[in-house]
Amino acid sequence: MKLAVPTETRAGERRVALVPDIVAKLVADGWSVAVESGAGVAANFPDAAFAAAGAEIAPTATACLDGAAVVVKVNAPTAEEAAQLPEGSICMSFLQPGQSVEALKVAAARGVTAVSFDLLPRISRAQSMDALSSQAIVSGYRAGLEAAQRLTKFFPMFMTAAGTVPPAKVLVMGVGVAGLQAIATARRLGAVVRAYDVRAAAKEEAESLGATFVELGVTAEGAGGYARELTPEEQAKQQEALMAEVAASDVVITTAAVPGRRAPILVTRAAIEKMAPGAIVIDLAADGGGNCEGTVAGEAVAVGAATVVGMSNPPSGMPTHASFLFARNVANLLALFGSEGQVHPDWNDEIVVATAVLREGKASTEAFAELLGVPLAPPITGGAS
């Protein structure tokens, strides 16, 4: 069966869903792989490398998709792209169902099985498929580098004949995968790092990387290792308590997100205005609305004497390794939906069930049926199908 890798169409996107070494493994497993010409160029994977790995190089997206049983993408297809998905195919991507309603409606009409990486369950067996985490590693690393580049001070302490230069003070807010990588990167660069998270369990992880954990008395442990959404009262208490921490920092890196919801506001404009001249705020949640008042996705905005940088699609800034990691996640999840060049998803596997928004054009859950206005798939019975 044919597996298609079209070029990503999101503005500024440089990643590609598969890389040549994974293509070679899939071809060896019996898949026929088609890659749209130029799909990997921005990530430094030229057509020749894909061809050498055994892929067919398709001149257009239409030719790439023609006859495909599986389509893999980094970003969710648009409604127009969904209309080009082969009938009855499987589409694997970061679908973010609440933000892709129109495209999913079109896909449903074509009998597509839509599989979303952002629905992967937080269980040990799914770790090798966890594309959210692999891309968050890239984001956290980039956040540390971006902060160091923009700050007009050194990150490390320097002891010179002209005097001692103190290290930069960095506050990382949100100690998930991205936050931990931001802590590690800032520490490697020599900064003094403090970290905050509403999950008490994050304290040990932050301290293991050399950060001092900030405790404010506001906790919000949620399901699956994520933070739950704070109440308005909790959020107000959190923002007030954080104001002094923010004001004392040279750099603030925010990474907080609640799955399926707008990013929570952690840093108010008033707090940013208390920061010293030249201070930098890196907002990794910019695409989800931002953790800071004043954040604009893809722009650096002056707020008082500080600068708030809304990083848009940060993994795309390091497309080679971001693609390298994503491709491995794709291959590992794909193995649950088919092998030896054939599609045969095990609909009794909890990972398969959890990641499928649509099953052959029908909604996998009542919530998705209501969201998309499509029929609910029949109950899963028996063995693999």
What are the catalytic residues?
122, 127, 130, 133, 226
3-state SS assignment for residue 170: strand
Of 197, 193, 194, residue with least CA distance to 176: 197
Whole-angstrom Cα distance, residue 157 to residue 187?
A: 12
H helices of the chain, where?
20-28, 47-52, 61-65, 79-82, 101-109, 131-150, 177-188, 202-208, 232-247, 269-273, 319-337, 350-355, 366-372
Helix 319-337 to helix 20-28 angle, to the nearest 10 degrees? 20
Whole-angstrom Cα distance, residue 360 to residue 385?
A: 12
Q: How far from chain centre, in Å, is Cα 165?
A: 36
In the Cβ-directed half-sphere of 158, how many Cα atoms lie within 13 Å? 9
Of 94, 31, 104, 17, residue with least CA distance to 67: 31
Whole-angstrom Cα distance, residue 87 to residue 262?
A: 33
